[in-house]
Amino acid sequence: MNVSDAIAQRRSTRDFLPDAVAVDVVRDILDRALRAPSGGNLQPWNVYVLSGDAKDRLVEAVAARLATHPRGEGAEYDIYPPGLTEPYRTRRYRVGEMMYEKLGIAREDKAARLMHFARNYGFFGAPIGMIFTMDRQMGEGQWVDLGLFMENILLLAEERGLATCAQESWAVWAQTLRALLPIPDDHIVFCGLALGYANPDAPVNTLRSERAPLEDIVTFIDRIDV
Ligand SMILES: Cc1cc2nc3c(=O)[nH]c(=O)nc-3n(C[C@H](O)[C@H](O)[C@H](O)COP(=O)(O)O)c2cc1C
């Protein structure tokens, strides 16, 4: 598989088979992903890879907290800008609607929507869960670097026939994550990531999210008159 195919095929998977992924495969993906570029070569990323009992313990701990904290414990950063404006608001709304349509959940069925959302905290059934953190001294530039590292992981997984879902929803469980994982206080919890084999029979996995056309994003400039 070449890079173009991996980019074209990758999608966020929200229903995984329980089938295990060999540790060596995960290690290989991460080892290669570490070749991601970063400004000044800071490599400002850290990742905790959870499987087996460790993943189950985390999932159970969050499930136990969900009843009293339905919206989590609070993220350590704004997952979305407060008061998100257009066109971003509509893009976010649109992908949500498309996803719930695939799931057969109506707009007014808030309970079912919440129940699906809570599946984030089971890594959508994936056998591997990752949590990404970063030293708090890092700024915007380094958040981008972390994103590049994550994208490498998504594409390398795709190349191996594995599926993924990046999950910033994990950011709201920083307190529980800190209680269970050796995350230093001076590191911020950014994001989770589910990794495993996609359930081929799950309609939600057929979601093909939209993209704004090139003309809306890219400005080609070949001449500047001053
Ligand atoms: C940093 C990041 C965090 C995300 N967090 C979540 C999440 O918590 N839950 C979820 O279901 N999808 C999450 N997504 C998936 C996005 O919704 C998805 O990438 C977007 O809708 C585009 O769809 P695609 O990945 O299938 O192309 C996240 C994606 C990124 C890049």
What integer pLDDT is reported at residue 205 of this predicted model? 98
What integer pLDDT is reported at residue 55 of this predicted model? 98
What integer pLDDT is reported at residue 153 of this predicted model? 99
Is the minimum distance from the CB of 152 to ligand 1 under 6 angstroms?
no
Is the minimum distance from the CB of 153 to ligand 1 under 6 angstroms?
no
* 3-state per-residue secondary structure call for 115-180: HHHHHHHHHHHCCEEEEEEEECCCCHHHHHHHHHHHHHHHHHHHHCCCEEEEEHHHHHHHHHHHHH
**What would the pLDDT profile of 106-159 be if each residue is shown by its tens digit?**
999 999 999 999 999 999 999 999 999 999 999 999 999 999 999 999 999 999
Ligand 1 atom closest to 120 (CA): 9
How far apart are the CA of 85 and the centre of ligand 1, in A?
19
pTM, two decimals, is: 0.96
Q: Is 188 helix (H, G, I), strand (E, B) or coil?
A: strand
What integer pLDDT is reported at residue 142 of this predicted model? 98
Is the minimum distance from the CB of 163 to ligand 1 under 6 angstroms?
no
Mutate which of 7, 12, 151 to test ligand 1's pocket (most atoms within 8 Å of Cβ)?
Answer: 12
CB burial of residue 160 (10 Å; 0-12, 13-18, 19+): middle
How far apart are the CA of 186 and the centre of ligand 1, in A?
26
Is the minimum distance from the CB of 205 to ligand 1 under 6 angstroms?
no
User: Quick one: which of 46, 30, 36 has its CA closest to 186?
Assistant: 46
How far apart are the CA of 168 and the centre of ligand 1, in A?
8
How far apart are the CA of 152 and the centre of ligand 1, in A?
15
**What would the pLDDT profile of 65-117 be if each residue is shown by its tens digit?**
998 998 999 999 999 999 999 999 999 999 999 999 999 999 999 999 999 99
Is the minimum distance from the CB of 164 to ligand 1 under 6 angstroms?
no
Ligand 1 atom closest to 14 (CA): 11
The answer to whether 34 and 43 are in contact (CB under 8 A) is yes
How far apart are the CA of 12 and the centre of ligand 1, in A?
6
How far apart are the CA of 1 and the centre of ligand 1, in A?
23
* Protein residue whose Cα sits closest to atom 5 of ligand 1: 167
What is the average pLDDT value for the chain, to the nearest integer? 97
Q: By percentage, how much of the chain surpasses pLDDT 70?
A: 100
Whole-number Å distance between alpha carbons of 35 and 156: 12
Mean pLDDT, residues 26-46: 98
Is the minimum distance from the CB of 51 to ligand 1 under 6 angstroms?
no
Residue 226 pLDDT exceeds 90? no
